[in-house]
Amino acid sequence: MRRMESTESAYRLLLSELKEISLLSSVGSVLGWDERTQLPRRAASTRADQLSMMAKLIHQRFTAPKIGEWLSQLEGSQLDADAKANVRETRREYDREVKIPESLVQEEAHVSVMAQQGWAEARKQSDFTAFAPWLEKIVQLKLQRAKCLGYAVHPYDALLDQFEPGETTANLTRVFESLRDPLVQLIGKIKDSSHKTPAEILERKYPVAAQESLARQAAAAVGFDFDAGRLDVSTHPFCTGLGPGDTRMTTRYDENYFGDAFFGVLHETGHGLYNQGLKAEHFGTPLGSAVSLGIHESQSRMWENLVGRSQSFWTFFMPKAKSAFPETLRGVSEEDWYRAINDVRPSFIRVEADETTYNLHILVRFELEQAMMTQSLSVADLPGAWDEKMRKYLGITPPDAARGVLQDIHWSGGGIGYFPTYTLGNLYATQFFESARTDLGDLDAQFAKGEFAPLLGWLRNKIHQQGQRYTAGELVKVVTGRSLSAEPLLRHLRNKAREIYQI
């Protein structure tokens, strides 16, 4: 009996400690959100010190010997399914974090703040040489991290695991190889098609205030709770969940291009809906956390593309868009608008890329990150390598660094290994969406009437509220009945191309 009480006590103490650590982490996230939305330029060094201190405290608490002792005791005990999942995932993260020296954790946190400020300024000036010293520091820190964590085959594997547990460079290479040639062939057919889209509609004047209003309407319509979240402006769009009742999204506005902000908001709304769908009572534990970044991206890509770029969504939403932009959209039919927002053509900016070319943008970054981690590519040579791969995969050359190598915030924040999760997200999203159609019936008829709650409820039940009960691979099998495949994504892209480009 005392053994059972001891087990119950150990589990209770573990959960209490995890929740306190998560509160510390959420405080750090507030500082991070503020850094990217409100921070005065001269405050960067102080904020770097603050976040470095928070990272130190969190690392100390999470890697304390008592957590390892509780885990060892619990692993030899009879536990229910919830407790088993919490112990399993905490052990995985604990075993990784104890390998990382406190000094490295602090330095990574400090450098990432300074580097992000440096990146933002360098991007404004389109000056890669101003950012290069920061990126060199980040690459060296990530090489140190990979060495501490260890890896069987490729140093990149150690970084991938942080974002997509269990993922490997070799497997992702196979994924991209299964997509690359079919995508290139499809893009070629679209290019040769005589059917063109009226994409210029998106490049008319769209006043920022009206864009913001419409984007907020769209986020609310699909289910985002603005009483438990915010929408603000930042250099690079992002979403962060600070805890139950507090999910922050950002976007950026271009008065002369509609797609950037609107679809960016729908993308971040997908992340926000996942955060708001996690069970509040499990906050701080694996059961109250997202499975992986790939699964998280599946939610953002689903709402942005499979819902937001569908014709049925605009059957419902086009009157609202015309009300927001009466002069700009005068005479524009729903059909023309649908074809315009689904225009396929190579472009410079990843976050503005269409569904078909998007994964080639990710392939560029995936290959460059591997090269930096094997040190076969120096930071100084990165702009040239970037441009070369853009020509190879997309047939275009960026005119400047801002629309090339400096466009993403990820590397400045230390997110090497993050980019492949976007492609995984696209794959997960389309496979989940096919299953949702099977379970829920005619989704298009629902969307056309503004009924998005059935899909959101399905996602809440099947994915959000599961937390980390399953690994990403297991979750896909549980939800869809089969392993992850590229075929649903390719089928979706081919069907849309056939519809719009008659190929």
Residue-wise pLDDT for 78-125, tens only, equals 999 999 999 999 999 999 999 999 999 999 999 999 999 999 999 999
Give me the amino acid identity at 138.
Answer: I
The DSSP line for 167-202 is: --HHHHHHHHHHHHHHHHHHHHHHHH-S----GGGG
pLDDT at 431 over 50: yes
Burial class (CB in 10 A: 0-12, 13-18, 19+), 267: buried
Are the C-beta atoms of residues 405 and 459 closer than 8 Å to each other?
no
As a whole number of angstroms, the distance between CA 301 and CA 450 comes to 19
439: which DSSP letter? H
Q: Quick one: average pLDDT of 140-151? A: 97
Q: Pairing relation of β-strands 246-251 and 229-233?
A: parallel
pLDDT at 12 over 50: yes
Tell me how long the chain is.
503
Single out the residue of 292, 282, 295 nearest to residue 83, CA to CA: 282
Catalytic residue among 167, 268, 304, 369: 268
pLDDT at 4 over 80: no
Assigned token pair, 383: 């702009």
pLDDT at position 345: 95
Residue-wise pLDDT for 232-290, tens only, equals 999 889 999 999 999 999 999 999 999 999 999 999 999 999 999 999 999 999 999 99
By three-state DSSP, how is residue 21 classified? helix
pLDDT at position 230: 97
pTM passes above 0.75: yes
The alpha carbon of residue 180 and the mean position of all alpha carbons in its chain are separated, in whole angstroms, by 21
Are the C-beta atoms of residues 431 and 301 closer than 8 Å to each other?
no
pLDDT at position 6: 87
pLDDT at 1 over 70: no
pLDDT at 76 over 90: no
Q: Quick one: average pLDDT of 442-452? A: 98
Single out the residue of 79, 101, 90, 100 nearest to residue 16, CA to CA: 90
Q: Quick one: average pLDDT of 319-329? A: 98
Q: Quick one: average pLDDT of 38-63? A: 96
Query: pLDDT band at residue 2, thresholds of 50, 70 and 90?
Result: very low
- Clarify whether 268 is annotated catalytic: yes
* Residues pairing with 291 in the sheet: none
Residue-wise pLDDT for 295-315, tens only, equals 999 999 999 999 999 999 999
CB count in 10 Å sphere of residue 131: 23
Are the C-beta atoms of residues 139 and 356 closer than 8 Å to each other?
no
126: which DSSP letter? T
CB count in 10 Å sphere of residue 103: 10
As a whole number of angstroms, the distance between CA 275 and CA 26 comes to 13
Single out the residue of 375, 378, 411, 417 nearest to residue 156, CA to CA: 417
Q: Which domains does the chain have, with CATH numbers?
A: 2-150 (no CATH), 169-501 (1.10.1370.30)
Residue-wise pLDDT for 366-417, tens only, equals 999 999 999 999 999 999 999 999 999 999 999 999 999 999 999 999 999 9
In angstroms, what CA-CA distances link 225 with 212, 274, 316, 451? 16, 12, 20, 16
pLDDT at position 5: 53
Are the C-beta atoms of residues 265 and 213 closer than 8 Å to each other?
no
Assigned token pair, 160: 């991938």
Assigned token pair, 159: 């970084």
Percentage of the chain with pLDDT > 70?
99
